[in-house]
């Protein structure tokens, strides 16, 4: 038995294994696994599934007005009414396979009443869709960990703009589909190629649609490659979900039968629910990619041991700076901005009093938080000092996205303040 253990230990410490383990550990904070874990964690924290459920309900209310408005745009702007109905049927069958026929019959009936198309009619239809737009915008703010506080009217105005945005996007999507159909018709490929080309192009179209959606609705600036990547993941998941959902229904043909005539509505809500869940997961992925770098810094304040070599190396590579003895980090009265975390060495803070900062401690938070000039000089006292520099916006994102961390930081600040006050009181008592 001890022999087996010894062999196992030798194996674990074999250079090939330790080398690859080291290589993995040094990249741990930017691996797909890390991103996946953080995305799922954030989705759970933001109650992604309950948001998807409420969005599915809002979408049910908004579906018919949306399709009517789309019909109006299509039939007035590019094609005849009958052709518009056919194209819309394809769009609705993608979004709501179970209810598409009934929706189209209703749209056909309503659209033949001219009264539906007066200015008042169109405004009323837009208004009915606003709760869906509002819920979507609020979901995006939640996922981006941001808060929106405009007045009621401003918010309604933004919601109507969002509805118009949704309409324009769906319109562009349908128009692009029409053009694609013409191109495929012109190329006239054989059946196998046709199917492959068709699936590939609808994947590309869906990705583009979702990407533009994310770009318009996500409330913070995000790198284009992050948006495109998340949109591609969303589109792939959504396309894969369609056969999975059909398979599930074919295995359970009586699924939802308990609702009788409402069965199709029940199944449609379930389908919309999964559609939104995938869509919001993509949104969460964008948010995670956006704060990926910021997440790396979390460990400094949230208990990753300061001896974790790989972690510190990864941090130093991205945010690090090495200074020599006597170098100034900043001078008293300088405008504030960054916060500094000392990894190694010593820094002296000097104003009327002196404070020595050692490895594992941070400084420079006052000017940043109070938006005021620096309270003291800060210079390196040891032969060398390694510092992590955290910008104001990075720190803000860090605190906003992680309330627990914000609490830890506040507690740290209160502890420091307490120490300073008791020192001050002791000094005053000694004088009197």
Binding of residue 205 to ligand CMP (CB under 6 A): no
Residue 366 Cβ, how far from ligand CMP at the closest point, in Å? 3
Helix (H, G, I), strand (E, B) or coil at 92: helix
Report the residue number, 295 or 349, with the smaller CB distance to ligand CMP.
Answer: 349
Q: How many CA atoms lie within 13 A of 108 on its CB side?
A: 13
What mask of x and - would describe binding to ligand CMP in positions 158 to 197, judged by CB under 6 A? ----------------------------------------
Q: Are 66 and 167 in contact (CB under 8 A)?
A: yes
Report the residue number, 336 or 345, with the smaller CB distance to ligand CMP.
Answer: 336
Instruction: Please give the size of the binding site for ligand CMP, defined by CB under 6 A.
Output: 13
Of residues 304-343, which lie at the interface with ligand CMP (CB under 6 A)?
A: 336
Which two structure tokens, joined as six digits, stand for 295?
């997440």
Tell me how far apart the alpha carbons of residues 211 and 223 are, in angstroms, rounded to a whole number: 12
Tell me how far apart the alpha carbons of residues 86 and 89 are, in angstroms, rounded to a whole number: 5
Report the residue number, 3 or 428, with the smaller CB distance to ligand CMP.
Answer: 428
Q: Which residue is nearest to ligand CMP (CB)?
A: 367
Of 109, 92, 137, nearest to 268 by C-alpha is: 92
Of 135, 140, 134, nearest to 284 by C-alpha is: 140
Report the residue number, 37 or 328, with the smaller CB distance to ligand CMP.
Answer: 328
Residue 370 Cβ, how far from ligand CMP at the closest point, in Å? 8
Residue 339 Cβ, how far from ligand CMP at the closest point, in Å? 8
Q: Are 320 and 388 in contact (CB under 8 A)?
A: yes
User: Can you spell out the DSSP letters for 239-266?
Assistant: HHHHHHHHHHHHH-TTTTGGGGGGHHHH
Residue 336 Cβ, how far from ligand CMP at the closest point, in Å? 5
Report the residue number, 146 or 366, with the smaller CB distance to ligand CMP.
Answer: 366
The neighbour count for residue 358, using CB atoms within 10 Å, is: 12
Residue 57 Cβ, how far from ligand CMP at the closest point, in Å? 49
Residue 375 Cβ, how far from ligand CMP at the closest point, in Å? 3
What mask of x and - would describe binding to ligand CMP in positions 341 to 380, judged by CB under 6 A? --------x-x-x---------xxxxx------xxx----
Residue 383 Cβ, how far from ligand CMP at the closest point, in Å? 22
Q: Are 306 and 388 in contact (CB under 8 A)?
A: no
Q: Are 287 and 342 in contact (CB under 8 A)?
A: no
Number of H helices, E strands in the chain: 16, 8
What mask of x and - would describe binding to ligand CMP in positions 396 to 425, judged by CB under 6 A? ------------------------x-----
The neighbour count for residue 400, using CB atoms within 10 Å, is: 16
DSSP state of 373: B
Report the residue number, 335 or 383, with the smaller CB distance to ligand CMP.
Answer: 335
Residues lying near ligand CMP in the complex (CB under 6 A) are found at 336, 349, 351, 353, 363-367, 374-376, 420
């Amino acid at each position: 038995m001890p022999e087996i253990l010894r062999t196992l230990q030798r194996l674990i410490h074999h250079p090939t294994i330790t080398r690859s383990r080291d290589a993995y550990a040094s990249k741990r904070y930017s691996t797909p696994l890390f991103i996946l874990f953080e995305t799922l964690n954030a989705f759970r924290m933001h109650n992604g599934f309950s948001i998807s459920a409420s969005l599915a309900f809002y979408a049910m209310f908004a579906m018919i007005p949306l399709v009517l408005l789309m019909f109006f745009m299509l039939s007035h702007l590019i094609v005849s009414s009958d052709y518009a109905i056919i194209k819309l049927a394809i769009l609705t069958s993608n979004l709501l396979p179970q209810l598409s026929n009934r929706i189209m019959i209703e749209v056909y009936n309503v659209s033949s009443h001219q009264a539906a198309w007066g200015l008042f009619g169109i405004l009323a239809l837009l208004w009915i869709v606003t709760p869906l737009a509002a819920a979507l915008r609020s979901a995006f703010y939640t996922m981006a960990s941001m808060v929106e506080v405009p007045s009621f009217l401003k918010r309604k105005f933004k919601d109507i703009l969002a509805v118009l945005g949704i309409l324009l996007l769906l319109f562009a999507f349908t128009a692009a589909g029409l053009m694609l159909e013409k191109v495929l018709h012109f190329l006239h490929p054989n059946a196998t190629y046709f199917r492959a080309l068709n699936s590939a192009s609808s994947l590309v179209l869906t990705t583009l649609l979702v990407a533009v959606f994310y770009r318009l609705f996500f409330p913070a600036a995000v790198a284009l490659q992050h948006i495109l990547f998340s949109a591609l993941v969303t589109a792939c998941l959504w396309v894969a979900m369609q056969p999975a959902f059909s398979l599930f229904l074919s295995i359970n043909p009586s699924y939802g039968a308990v609702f009788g005539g409402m069965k199709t509505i029940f199944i449609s809500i379930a389908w919309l629910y999964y559609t939104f869940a995938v869509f919001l997961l993509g949104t969460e992925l964008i948010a995670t990619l956006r704060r990926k770098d910021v997440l790396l810094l979390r460990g400094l304040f949230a208990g990753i041991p300061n001896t974790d070599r790989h972690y510190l190396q990864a941090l130093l590579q991205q945010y690090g700076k090495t200074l020599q003895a006597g170098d100034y980090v900043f001078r008293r009265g300088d405008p504030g901005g960054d916060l500094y975390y000392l990894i190694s060495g010593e820094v002296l803070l000097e104003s009327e009093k002196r404070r020595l900062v050692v490895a594992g401690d941070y400084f420079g938070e006052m000017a940043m938080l109070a938006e005021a000039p620096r309270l003291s000089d800060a210079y390196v006292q040891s032969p060398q000092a390694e510092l992590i520099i955290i910008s104001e916006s990075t720190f803000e994102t860090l605190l906003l996205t992680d309330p627990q961390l914000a609490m830890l930081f506040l507690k740290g600040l209160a502890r420091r303040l307490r120490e300073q006050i008791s020192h001050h009181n002791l000094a005053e008592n000694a004088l009197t």
